[in-house]
Chain A
Amino acid sequence: MLSPSRFQLVWLLLTRMTFRHWRSKGGHYILLIGIVAVGVGAFNGIRQASRSASENFGLFNQAVSGQSDFLIESPVQRLLEADLVKLSTLGLDPDWHLVPVIEGSVTAVKTGGVDKKQLRLIGLDLLALGNLPTLAQESLRFSDEDANWYDWLGHENEVWVGQKLADQLRVGVGDNITFLASGRLAKMKVRMILNDPDGNLPDDLVLGDLPTVQSLLSRPGELNRVEVVINQLDRREDTAYLGNIEKRLNQLLPVNLSLSPTQNRAADRSAMTAAFRLNLTILSLIAILVGAYLILQALDAAVVRRRAEIATLRSLGVDGSVLFATYLMEAFVLGLVGSIAGVGVGQVLALGAVSMLADTVNALYFATSVEALTLTSLDVIVGLVLGLLFSMLAGWLPARDATQTPPAQVLARGDWSPGFSWLRKPKVGIGLLVLGGVALLFPPFVMQAGSNMPVGGFLAAGCWIFGSALLSGHVLVLLAGWVRPFCMGPVARLACSRLRDGSSRHRLAVAGLVVAVSMVTGMFQMIDSFRGTIEEWFDVRFQADLYISESGVTGAGSVNGIDPKLMDELLKDPNIKYADVMRICYAKPPKGVTVLAGVDLEHWRDRARQIWLKMPGSLKVVDGAEPALVSETFARRFGVLSGGVVELETPVGRKRVSPLGIFCDYGNEFGMAAISAKVWTDWTGSNRPINVSLFLKDLSKLQETRDRLRIAYPGLDIRNERELRDVALGIFEQTFQATNALSLIGLAVAFAGLLLGLFSIFDESTQTWQTLKHLGFSTSRFVLAAGLEGAGIGVAAWVAGSITGLALGWLLVFVINVQSFGWTLLWTVPVESILWFGALLTGVGLFSGVISATYWNFRRR
């Protein structure tokens, strides 16, 4: 006879036993598959949603004509008509077409059934567009009815919208869309609804003729960029040809403008949100991780439940490696089915998360809108691989535990708990804590847009969390030892003695909770520290009486600004004593982007209140460089905390700024350098303000002035300090929505893990309970003892988790935040929340113990 191969044996065990167990506990395994699906789905969903929310800044060419090849831009992303004149020779070349584009964010208000909707208004030179070689090939057509395409131009204020947008706003041809742009309330008339049978057009796109859009945005003579489309479309993949075209374009390009392949722009924008997306990815990985923890607990419970069966197999001569492979295969199958289901779950979760994330991106980075969610094959592969990897990692320990089961001859002697003996050894835990400390020495990784990724900080966090989880069993034993002398009754003594004994499964249950508790406690501190710091910053920094900005646009990058004429008009208000006008634009440092602001530098330096990291004048301005007050983020990013020079590209060439003081600022993570308004205008050729802070003569007329300005300028947001604070804190809360949601998922899973862990503990102690029953231990006493055991686990997890959480809080505030964003936060420890959390954990532990013991008892009957 030929012995069957190990694979055949594994297959035999899987089909004859494992899957039959699945069948007899169908609901249980469907739940497990569901857990993997939710974990993988959360990861995939957040991945898709963040991509959809942060990468939808599609260029005109992506939306309409398919593809442009190059972009001509200025360093501040604004071109003037003078620039276009300089490009006139470039436009004569027959090998390419130039398409000038203006783009702006506007807010449609009270149109159709929609109260407010952010729109992307794009202005094009339609005459140039008519010559585009690609247009004829596209399925998109402007209209069948217009025999003469010159009719596209229409009249002033007339625009085209896609069918989807028309449906959303419930507008038809000839209807008006009321909108806010550059501080003005205006109307645009729908001239045509674009025929878009394939649904290629985004639902926020509004197209218009170039002069029309310039007028609608109150930005006469301005452009955002010029797109270059090559004539020979069949040579688009020919890199040599494209290289030659790029070379020729560069030769003819004015010095103040830059040329780049179109795809670079997508990469630039993508890089801007890379840190944000990476943070989200890490958070969403936690969803898979906690899912894996549940799988571990469930498979471990299965091993305990099937212990007698495993022992019989051992006595029949089934060797450990076959058992190991069988249990690992079980985890594999769970992971595979769960991950496949997770792809579908991810789609559903993405639908729910995408608008939330789009709001955050809008608030923090640039104007965006939700684009159709796309599921790529890479998403599917990444989801599957992660689901399988984590499931198999989770299955590893129970599989190993199964191999340690002795043959039935030995097992029959009593309770058996070989379990995770390494949890009893403190070496690995201590090693991880030390390794975390060493990881702090790693410098941050500099990303494409100049943002920093605190690799060492994240590594340290991981090491500390897992190290303390491994050590938490010792805390449990220690605490139980302290409490034991005070336990008088038999129930308390029994519970305490079992905790003092600290079986591997007790330790595993505490470890799982510690991971969740420490993360949540750390997050509590970071969010509270952040909130506290911002409130403090508001108290100091915002001393003006009224704050005015463009209405509807919230994104830090949506710099339409306020129409200068409107601003001049507004500043004539008789109650204004002083107006601190601010202008901003993006500027290009050697790496990434930053913000260059034009302000009343004298006022900022001498009168405006700031939280100063370095007082103005404490830093020596480098000769020949423009003096600037820079934010802490700017100073840290460009290494000028002790003074120095940073070179920035401007439309008038490279300019040098040198800090004379450093202030704390929590507005953006790209940093800001504030120079005098006059120099800013010289460098950028613009005078468009982004906002203004008003100091009033007569404060008793504050509300009256605000209301008067609001009526006169409906396109502007006019707020007092309290209202501005509410808006800012609203954005703040928005930013932490995803974090809070994932923390809640983590906690819920940890509690589910505790329940499963307690089941295993009781299953494994069957003989003990039987003995106690014979000794007259009643069911209610058993349930109470189990409740106390659960509560003890909760308390130990709270103590160990809170200590680790405090360390994590420190890490988040002083290392990860500083390295990621360059922000110094005031560390706040929310003692009250932590205490409440402890009470909650104890209560939930008690409840879990009671529930699991009741169910266990019921099942045994």
Chain B
Amino acid sequence: MMAFLNDHLKNKQKVALHVSGATKSFGKVDVLKGIDLKILAGERVALMGPSGSGKSTLLNCVCGIELLDGGTIHVGGQELSGLKRGELEKVRRENMGYVFQSFHLLPTLNAFENVEFAAQLVGMPKEQRIEKVTELFEQVGLSHRMDHLPNALSGGERQRVAIARALVHQPRLVLADEPTGSLDTESGNQVLTLLKTLSADLQVALLLVTHDHDSTRICDRVITMKDGTLLAS
């Protein structure tokens, strides 16, 4: 019995994202119709689907930007529903990383500072921060570009900086919304490889939203969404 309970607790801790019976409507339009989804630590899941299928809404609900009408979302074991706005922001700050299609680097900070900034937000001590950021820059292959401002970097480089920023505070879950959408094929491939390697190394769960079937090759699972429901898992 004890062994069962230990296993159960261990599994529970390993779950990075758990969405259960999630529903969401905008007016009379039901956008999410009872979504169930579980992603384990270190697991990479691709979320595909046509426009209007509810992908963005699901992502926003996972981030805590939109609130569910029904169901629950747990990130790193913490349930989001019922949290206040400030608490949701704290969860987002500490447990999640986000990679955007259009990078969204802060224009006044250089590449190093952009990554360091996310670590500062969670209160990482300076020495540890510098060490961690330097290490990440080595991993993303941009050690020679650390002091460049975003507008001096190529698209691929910017996205690699954004990946480093998403991972620097060791979140449970990284949400990547079309991370290769604005990149050429070669840069896109580099970014995907990087996401795969880093999420595996750091045991971070990855939810990759994409329209590109080729991008799903780095993922362990592919989920398709249509009309607010998950079709396949």
Contact = CB atoms under 8 A, between A and B. Distances in A.
Q: Does A pair with B?
A: yes
Contact of B121 (A9, A17, A24, A407): A9
A12 B125 CA distance: 14
Interface stretch (B21-29, B90-98, B200-208, B215-223): B90-98
A3 B65 contact: no
Interface string A133-168: 000000000000000000000000000000000000
Nearest to B108: A20
A721 interface: no
A1 interface: yes
A409 B89 contact: no
B43 interface: no
Nearest to A23: B108
B122 A311 contact: no
- The interface centre, meaning the residue of B89, B94, B105, B120 with most chain A CB atoms within 10 A of its CB, is B89
A318 B121 contact: yes
Contacts of A320: 85
Contacts of B118: 316
Contacts of A321: 86
Given A316-B118, A409-B63, A311 B104 contact: yes
A408 B104 contact: yes
A16 B108 contact: yes
B194 interface: no
Contact of A409 (B94, B98, B121): B98
Contact of A408 (B85, B91, B100, B125): B100
Contacts of A24: 108
B113 interface: yes
A308 B100 CA distance: 12
B124 interface: yes
Nearest to A313: B106
A309 interface: yes
A412 interface: yes
A315 B108 contact: no
A3 B59 contact: no
Name, among B96, B123, B124, B165, the residue most crowded by chain A CB atoms within 10 Å (CB to CB).
B123
Contacts of A21: 108
Interface in B104-137: 104-109, 113, 117-118, 120-125
B177 interface: yes
A312 interface: yes
A319 interface: yes
Contacts of B100: 315, 408-409, 412
Contacts, number: 83
A12 B126 CA distance: 13
Nearest to B119: A1
Contacts of A412: 100-102
Contact of A12 (B65, B89, B105, B120): B120
A316 to B, nearest CB: 6
B56 interface: yes
A20 B107 CA distance: 10
Contacts of A4: 120-121, 123
Interface string A110-135: 00000000000000000000000000
Contact of A317 (B60, B90, B102, B109): B90
B121 A316 contact: yes
Contacts of B121: 4, 9, 316-318
A407 B65 contact: yes
A2 interface: yes
A316 B93 contact: yes
B104 A17 contact: no
Contact of B177 (A16, A17, A319, A409): A409
A309 B92 CA distance: 17
Contacts of B101: 412
Given A316-B93, A316-B118, A3 B123 contact: yes
Interface string B10-23: 00000000000000
Interface string A590-614: 0000000000000000000000000
Contact of A316 (B60, B117, B124): B117
B109 A16 contact: yes
B145 to A, nearest CB: 19
Nearest to B165: A316
Contact of A315 (B98, B120, B122): B98
Interface residues of A, number: 30
A319 B106 contact: no
Interface in A10-47: 12, 16-17, 20-21, 24
B84 to A, nearest CB: 10
Given A9-B121, A410-B60, A317 B104 contact: no
Given A317-B92, A406-B65, A1 B122 contact: yes
Contacts of B91: 317
Given A3-B123, A320-B85, A17 B106 contact: yes
Given A317-B89, A406-B65, A410-B60, A308 B122 contact: no
Nearest to B97: A316
A314 B64 CA distance: 11
B60 A315 contact: no
Nearest to B104: A312
A767 to B, nearest CB: 13
Nearest to A2: B123
Nearest to A3: B123
A391 B109 CA distance: 27
Interface string A166-210: 000000000000000000000000000000000000000000000
A319 B108 contact: no
Contacts of B102: 412
B92 A315 contact: yes
B124 A16 contact: no
A3 B119 CA distance: 10
Given A17-B108, A409-B56, A317 B93 contact: yes
B113 A16 contact: yes
Contacts of B63: 315, 407, 409
A21 B149 CA distance: 13
B65 A410 contact: yes
A502 B59 CA distance: 33
Contacts of B59: 409
Contacts of B104: 308, 311-312, 315, 408
Nearest to A411: B104
Nearest to B94: A317
A406 B65 CA distance: 8
A406 B104 CA distance: 14
Contacts of B94: 317
Interface string A309-340: 10111111111110000000000000000000
A165 to B, nearest CB: 59
A410 B65 CA distance: 8
Contacts of A315: 63, 92, 98, 100, 104
Contacts of A17: 106, 108-109
A318 B90 CA distance: 8
Contacts of B98: 315-316, 408-409
Contacts of A317: 89-94, 96, 121
Interface string B61-105: 001010000000000000000000110011111101010111011
A406 B66 CA distance: 11
A16 B56 CA distance: 31
Nearest to B56: A409
B93 to A, nearest CB: 3
- Top 6 closest pairs, chain A to chain B, by CB: A317-B93, A20-B108, A317-B92, A312-B104, A319-B89, A3-B123
27 contacts: A1-B122, A1-B124, A1-B125, A2-B123, A4-B120, A12-B117, A16-B109, A17-B108, A20-B108, A24-B108, A312-B104, A312-B106, A313-B106, A316-B118, A316-B165, A317-B90, A317-B91, A317-B92, A317-B93, A320-B85, A406-B65, A407-B63, A408-B104, A409-B56, A409-B65, A410-B65, A412-B101
Given A16-B113, A20-B109, A408-B104, 11 more contacts: A1-B125, A3-B123, A4-B121, A16-B109, A317-B89, A318-B89, A319-B85, A321-B86, A407-B65, A412-B100, A412-B101
